[in-house]
Amino acid sequence: MIAPIHVVGGGLAGSEAAWQIAEAGVPVVLHEMRPVRGTDAHKTEGLAELVCSNSFRSDDSSSNAVGQLHWEMRRLGSLIMAKGDAHQVPAGGALAVDRDGFSQAVTAALEAHPNVTIERGEIAGLPPAEWDKVIVATGPLTSPALAEGIRSLTGASDLAFFDAIAPIVHFDSIDMDIAWFQSRYDKAGPGGTGADYINCPLDRDQYEAFIDALLAAEKTEFKEWEGTPYFDGCLPIEVMAERGRETLRWGPMKPVGLTNKHNPTVKAYAVVQLRQDNALGTLFNMTGFQTKLKYGEQAAIFRMIPGLENAEFARLGGIHRNTYLNSPELLDPQLRLKADPRLRFAGQITGCEGYVESAAIGLLTGRLAAAERLGRPLELPPATTALGALVNHITGGHIVTIDEGPRSFQPMNINFGLFPPIEGVATTGPDGKRLKGPAKSVARKQALTARAKVELDGWVGAKSVEAAE
């Protein structure tokens, strides 16, 4: 009889890891502390609950790194991608999902799998010594007891950053005589039409007044965690405003690629976009509007935005503490804890950022643990693949030196900067003219994704041969 592998944490990474283990024919026990113990961010007891955005970001696998990661995960039988595809909502060129339907589908699939046992309850402290193979996928909301156990075992303090949550607005409270539907550059995506975002335009005076209000508003303070850095990919809007008055206008409020259908001859100075948040289209989230503003301030300030003067909020923004390991120092190349190799880590706690990246590392750790249990050690995917590039960042460490100070390991989304360079990229287009600027960049990205697909297929083929032997 095959002994089970234990997975601690039922988020995206833990759910994906458990699925991969079970699909390999190995029994798995998935431990999720909710609803026995809740968190400040979760609202349900469902597995793979999305607590921030409902977007898996770009689904373009030809010229986008996260789209390539989508492709690889689908190729490897990802549960998260399968249920994401089944519960998608319109989002331009992105893959966004109905968060409730998605979570319910993931939960149902795992509950129905004959190799999966789900146990509810907190693992307080380190997993029991008799569990010889464990994947810790407790995510950014790791319970204090487990975090302290890891800290005592490694002798190192885990790092932390803040992750803010964007508000969600009821569609019927948005003034569509002011706002309009349009995706940036009219780009269509999975399940979309090219008119998938609601756009709220601001002129210069309205933008300046909005920035003034953000800067003056009362924020939530966390003195206990003072000095903890934010991850740049999820900065609260008021933090961006503090970095310069034009920062938001060149970030989540950029007006490019959009034409106001109500007033097409006048270019907006800034634009707030809202993305569909559920399958019914009754809820829209404010894209890129993570915030730590106090609740009383949020409603008043966001109603300064044209089209949202009478907005009703299904959820206001919030903030929670995220925890991650200094993985290059603490983990081996197979994502095992050097101080206790029976423990593997997966998801955001390893230092990757984003839903898809977290699930991808869960997928890989599940496969690694199952192969190890079956006596068939598994080689990591090539670094030329999106999955390989991501795990290489985590275990090799994208170490940087800032101002000649101490080297630091920071959370990272998948991006082409993590891929090894490629030679032989086309320098001319179909018309024979030399590629320049954006066209040259697109050609390079397409070459990287084409190589990644070939390399991933080769890795899958090699594994199949080894298993047959």
Per the annotation, where are the binding residues for FAD? 9-14
Between strands 5-8 and 28-32, the pairing is parallel
H or E element in which residue 154 lies: helix 144-154
Whole-number Å distance between alpha carbons of 241 and 211: 7
The CA-atom distances, in angstroms, between 100 and each of 45, 47, 84, 323 are: 11, 10, 11, 25
Q: How many Cα atoms occupy the beta-carbon half-sphere of 373 within 13 Å?
A: 26
Report strand pairing: 134-136 vs 197-202.
unpaired
Paired tokens of 108:
């149902």
Give the residue numbers of the binding site: 9-14
According to DSSP, the β-strands at 94-97 and 88-89 are antiparallel
11: amino acid identity, one letter = G
Give the residue among 221, 227, 210 at the shortest CA–CA distance from 293: 221
Please state, in angstroms and rounded to a whole number, the distance separating the CA atoms of residues 155 and 396.
20
Contact 90, 57 (CB under 8 A): no
Q: How many residues does the chain have?
A: 469
Which positions ≥6 away from 290 have C-beta within 8 Å? 52, 163, 164, 165, 166, 234, 235, 236, 237, 317, 319
Q: Distance (Å, rounded) from C-alpha 366 to C-alpha 378?
A: 11
Question: In whole angstroms, how far apart are CA 133 and each of 3, 318, 368, 465?
Answer: 9, 35, 11, 26
Strand residue runs (E) in 293-418: 313-315, 318-324, 336-337, 340-345, 400-401, 407-408
Cα–Cα distance between 347 and 136 in angstroms, integer? 9
Distance of CA 386 to the CA centre of its chain: 14
Place of tokens 């603490």: 330
What tokens were used for 186?
């009219």
Q: Please give the Cα distance from 322 to 158 (Å, whole number).
A: 10
H helix intervals, 218-341: 237-242, 295-302, 327-330
Buried b (16+ CB within 10 A) or exposed e, 364-400: bbbbbbbbbbeeeebebbbbbbbbbbbbbbbbebbee
